[in-house]
Amino acid sequence: MYDMSKLRGREAGAGKGDLGEAAVLQILKLHKNRIGRRCVILQSYSYPYAPNIEGNIKLGTDGNFIHEPGKDGTDDEIDLIMLTDNRIFLIEVKAYSGKIMVNDIWTYHANHWDEKSAICQAEKHGRHFYHSFYDVIPEGEQGYIKLITVFTGLCDIEDKRTMNRDYIPIAVANDINKTIHTHDKPGKFCIDIDAVVKRLMESKTAVKTVII
């Protein structure tokens, strides 16, 4: 188990998002060493948005939702990617603290509704990733992609969703291994990890860490 007090002691300072991401990376590395199967991890992976695919949903100041158009010519950044022979895990990391409420529509923390829902951000990553990499996924089946949102601060999560709990599970950092283990189940085919990594490296505009 990773000592999350290293993060909590600096939550008020700059870069807490980077600290949270680094903490989850360390936990994934421990998981990689334990599972006894091949596993590849990428941190801060950026690649061009899929063309003509809508972007984030935002909550406007007037209380209405705004679905941003696709951002041709700009990049999407995924905090952490973990590849096994069973699944491609896309992990969105948020260094949120305190009370966090998630319902079927949005996320709430720090005493306000978020401008961007952490769950919707994870869904956006999955949508663009699928459209860019479907041809290196077995039979182009989107179920091989697993989205996870991880909150790394000292928080109390109230998940009030009545749908999509399994589609985008929520975890705290020290539960991420359990969440991955729950969803790292064999499908009809194994993922060709080499083919996915090759495409990731061909498509990247930036990546901070690659652990093979």
Q: Pairing mode, if any, of strands 98-102 and 155-159?
A: parallel
Q: Which residue type, as a one-letter code, is found at position 135?
A: D
* pLDDT score, position 1: 42
Host domain of residue 89: 5-211
- Alpha-carbon distance of 66 to 45, in angstroms, equals 26
Torsion on CA atoms 208, 196, 46, 185, rounded to nearest 10 = -80
What are 159's strand-pairing partners? 102
Question: Quick one: which of 12, 120, 126 has its CA closest to 57?
Answer: 120
* pLDDT confidence of residue 170: 95
pLDDT recorded at residue 42:
97
Total count of domains within the chain: 1
Q: pLDDT value at position 97?
A: 87
pTM over cut 0.75: yes
The predicted pLDDT at position 94 comes to: 94
Per-residue model confidence (pLDDT) at position 182 = 93
DSSP state for residue 206 in the 8-state scheme: B
Spans in the chain with pLDDT lower than 50: 1-14
Q: Do 28 and 152 form a contact (C-beta atoms < 8 A)? A: no
Closest to 133 measured CA to CA, from 117, 145, 115, 151: 145
Q: How far lies 79's CA from each of 20, 121, 125, 135, 185, in Å?
A: 10, 11, 10, 22, 22
